[in-house]
Structure 1
Amino acid sequence: MALYDLSHRIVSGMPHFPGDPVPQITPAATEPPWRVSSLAIGSHTGTHVDAPSHFLPDGRPIGEYPLERFVLQGIVVDAAGFGMNQAIPEDVLARYREGFKPGWCLVLRTGWDRHWGDESYYRHPYLSDALAAAVVAMGASLLGIDALNVDSTADSGATVHDTLLRADVLIVENLRGLDALEAGRTYGFGFLPLALGDVDGAPVRALAWDLDHPLIPTG
């Protein structure tokens, strides 16, 4: 069975959205030999999912969604080759429309995870408004990307979050390792958030697997 880990590890001082809490993991005071760590992170730390309440005042929080929304089939869309702070056009979806089914996820592979840890990570490519509208029109349940933000971080954009979350398309940001997946091929995906309630999002452990292999080995 092939499992693909698509998550950045959460460590102290890791890249995070400007203005969000700085991730800190420190040892807590305990009686030896026990170890406990204190975690200070934001709800959008590392690889994470955005719920509609992240942007919309009356949007649903992450705790209202069933697990089925986070475990689903989907495809990787090749969106590589775009530069710093460049909008990704709608036509990247052209070759993927025929095989896509409503309720699946679309995962955009920009290759920007290679900049993780340097300043250029904050000047990533982002979805154009036309691309966001096309994602909604295709009936996607979730949109993932291997970059910090579906909107332009450099320009403080927000229209893509508005379009997707208003249509109840969940957003997963800061994916990694998508080069291991074949564009256009159907995979199983899991983006399981922490079991939080009335919260605007949550870190996730993101993974993918080949559908022609059992998820749980037998024998």
Structure 2
Amino acid sequence: MEHLWDISPPVHAQSPVFPGDTQYAQQWSARIGPGCPVNVSSITTTPHVGAHADAPLHYDPHGEPIGAVDLGAYLGPCRVIHAIGRGPLVRWDDLAHATDGLPARVLVRTYERMPVDRWDPELAAFDAATIERLADAGVRLVGIDTASIDPAASKDLPSHQAVRRRGLRVLENLVLDDVPEGDYELIALPLKWMTADASPVRAVLRRP
């Protein structure tokens, strides 16, 4: 039987979000009962909740919303590289042991255990020079197991801006705790939200 690694954290009312962002909330507008055959709910949330894909619009005022981006980057061969405890910035040397013949998608594990139940203000992020080196190597998508590819307190977002310049796509908040280093197929398609700056994804890996 084919094995899938589900690398998406659970999403619920206690899911951590960037301080000041919109928490996940769900309200029931209909419940199964006399005269009602279905449950129906509405959801309020930031699109950056859980595992998510940033749109260019998130870091570029003229960038594409997530519903307009090409899906090719979010589906295909990828490599998981461990850089556990290498923060606050993941540098090229932290990845160099696994960079021969890189596929177009690279996911980086920085946590021993990803904190799915709390916000981490000390999250590890990418050094912008690492993004540039990955782009030079032909990488089209970068992912990380923290809430941002830039430090939580950053105001100039150098790694997001490197992604913007180089045309890369971004996945954040992945759970890579139980994923060995190596090559996989990534499936992490964003929703077709035509005006949104991001989209939650159900990210999974499988062996090619």
TM-score using structure 1 length = 0.86
Deviation of 1:157 after TM superposition, in Å, equals 5.0
What's the counterpart of residue 110 of structure 2? 110
Runs of 4+ in 1 over 6 A off after TM superposition: none
| Equivalence for 1:216 | none
Amino acid at match of 2:11: I
Residue of structure 1 equivalent to 2:96: 94
Cα distance in 1 for residues equivalent to 2:133 and 2:143? 14
The answer as to whether partners of 1:63 and 1:197 remain within 8 angstroms in 2 is: yes
Cα-to-partner distance string for 1:152-194 (whole Å, 9 max, x where unaligned):
0034451110101231111100001x233221x2100011111
Structure 2 residue runs without a partner (length 5+): none
Q: Distance in 1 between matches of 2:84 and 2:14?
A: 27
Residues 198 and 186 of structure 1: CA distance in aligned 2, closer, same or farther (over 3 Å) = same
Aligned CA-pair RMSD:
1.8
- Quote the residue 2:81 is aligned against: 77
Distance 1:37 1:131 in 2: 42
The 1:124–1:75 alpha-carbon spacing in structure 2 relative to 1, beyond 3 Å, is same
Q: How does 1:153-192 map to 2 (within 5 A)?
A: 153-176=152-175, 178-183=176-181, 185-192=182-189
Q: Which amino acid aligns with 1:15?
A: P
Given residue 19 of structure 2, which amino acid in structure 1 is its aligned partner? P
Distance 1:198 1:166, change over 3 A: farther
Partner-residue secondary structure (3-state), 1:115? coil
Q: Closer, same or farther in 2 for the Cα pair 1:28/1:113, shift >3 Å?
A: farther
Q: Could you say which residue in structure 2 is the equivalent of 1:47? A: 51
Question: What residue is the counterpart of 1:124 in the other structure?
Answer: 123
* TM-score normalized by the length of structure 2: 0.90
Q: Quote the offset at 1:24 in angstroms.
A: 0.6
- Paired with 2:10 and 2:156, the residues of 1 have a C-alpha distance of 26
For the Cα contact (< 8 Å) 1:51–1:165, is it kept in 2? no
**Alignment of structure 1 residues 128-139 onto 2, 5 Å:** 128-139=127-138
Distance 2:177 2:113 in 1: 10
Partner amino acid, structure 1, of 2:10: R
Cα deviation, residue 129, structure 1: 2.1
Counterpart-to-counterpart distance in 2, 1:70 and 1:156:
27
Using the alignment, how far apart are the partners of 1:207 and 1:134 within structure 2?
25
* 3-state SS of 1:205 partner: coil
Aligned length: 204
Q: Match for residue 145 of structure 1?
A: 144
Unaligned segments of structure 1, at least 5 residues: 212-219
The percent identity for this pair of structures is: 29
Q: Distance in 2 between matches of 1:54 and 1:63?
A: 13
- For residues 115 and 156 of structure 1, do their structure 2 counterparts lie closer, same or farther at Cα, with a shift above 3 Å needed? farther
CA distance in 2, matches of 1:9, 1:179: 14
Given that residues 112 and 146 in structure 1 are in contact (C-alpha distance below 8 angstroms), is that contact kept between their aligned partners in structure 2?
no
